[in-house]
């Protein structure tokens, strides 16, 4: 039995259907019931609860494989934070993207103080394996303090409008948060947003910047990578 077969052992549906359901949920702003209907239209009768379980079980595994395949991202890190309300409590979503807008990583702590900023900086350094050429943030003092302690030699840009790329990157999260009627816990938000961000990285190929033939080639390459991740 192959490693792939062992991963999917005990599941009634083949890996292609499971992988397609997870892709639909994270690629588009769909609910589990929406995915259930789309699969039913193709003759696949599966409950939305089964789809939810697939996303919880296989989504993080797919994301880890995508992250290993992509390697380090850009050398300019744009960091920003927004608040999210979870069970009536305010939490903070810290996000880092590179100069191309690709998600590097996220963190969902309960505060946005120096300790949280330091923890996020160290998480980014561990994940990327090296320091960036430049860090771009707003003027939040937590960033300034954490930067001095964690990577003081890296240029730190806090000029106005320089961090628009990170601020814009929150928009897909806000759409999904509304569609999901808020997150249930910080852990659930962390798990979902990491998978969601990595899937978006893979399939966001800058259509407006490419000729149609090149866009189709990049999109096909993304589908091939996704199939390899599901089959691995």
Burial of 24 (0-12, 13-18, 19+ CB in 10 A): middle
Stronger pLDDT, 72 or 144, i.e. the higher one: 144
Instruction: Give 171's pLDDT tier (boundaries 50, 70, 90).
Output: confident
pLDDT reported for residue 1: 41
Q: How far apart are the first and last CA of the chain?
A: 13
Question: Which tokens in the block code for residue 191?
Answer: 């798990």
Q: Specify the pLDDT at position 207.
A: 61
Q: How confident is the model at residue 2 (pLDDT cuts 50, 70, 90)?
A: low
Per residue in 110-153, pLDDT (tens digit) is 889 999 999 999 999 998 999 999 999 999 999 999 999 999 99
CA dist 155 and 151 (Å) reads 9
pLDDT by residue (tens digit) across 78-115? 999 998 888 888 899 999 999 988 999 999 998 899 99
- The pLDDT-based confidence of 206 (bands split at 50, 70, 90) is low
What domains, with CATH codes, occur in the chain? Answer: 3-70+204-231 (no CATH), 76-184 (3.30.420.10)
Examine the pLDDT at 221 and tell me if it is beyond 60: yes
pLDDT at residue 3 tops 50: yes
Mean pLDDT of 17-28: 95
Neighbours of 45 (CB within 10 A): 8
Whether 158 has a pLDDT exceeding 60, the answer reads yes
pLDDT at 214 > cutoff 90: no
More confident residue, 76 or 9: 76
Contact residues for 15 (Cβ-Cβ < 8 A; gap 6+): 4, 7, 8, 230, 231
Q: Is the pLDDT of residue 6 over 80?
A: no
């Amino acid at each position: 039995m192959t490693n792939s077969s062992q991963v999917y052992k005990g599941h009634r549906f083949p890996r292609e259907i499971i992988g397609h359901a997870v892709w639909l949920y994270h690629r588009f702003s769909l609910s589990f019931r929406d995915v259930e209907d789309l699969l039913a239209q193709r003759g696949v009768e599966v409950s939305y609860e089964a789809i939810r379980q697939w996303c919880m079980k296989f989504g993080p595994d797919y994301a880890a494989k995508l992250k290993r395949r992509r390697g380090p991202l850009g050398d300019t890190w744009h960091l920003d934070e927004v608040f999210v309300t979870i069970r009536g409590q305010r939490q903070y979503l810290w996000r880092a993207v590179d100069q191309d807008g690709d998600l590097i990583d996220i963190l969902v702590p309960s505060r946005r103080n120096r300790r949280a900023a330091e923890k996020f900086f160290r998480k980014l350094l561990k994940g990327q394996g090296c320091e960036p050429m430049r860090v771009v943030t707003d003027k939040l003092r937590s960033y300034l303090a954490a930067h001095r302690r964690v990577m003081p030699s890296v240029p730190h840009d806090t000029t106005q409008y320089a961090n628009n790329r990170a601020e814009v990157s929150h928009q897909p999260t806000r759409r999904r948060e509304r569609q999901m009627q808020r997150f249930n816990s910080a852990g659930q938000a962390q798990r979902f947003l990491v998978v969601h961000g990595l899937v978006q990285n893979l399939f966001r190929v800058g259509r407006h910047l490419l000729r149609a033939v090149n866009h189709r080639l990049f999109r096909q390459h993304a589908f091939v990578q996704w199939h390899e991740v599901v089959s691995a």
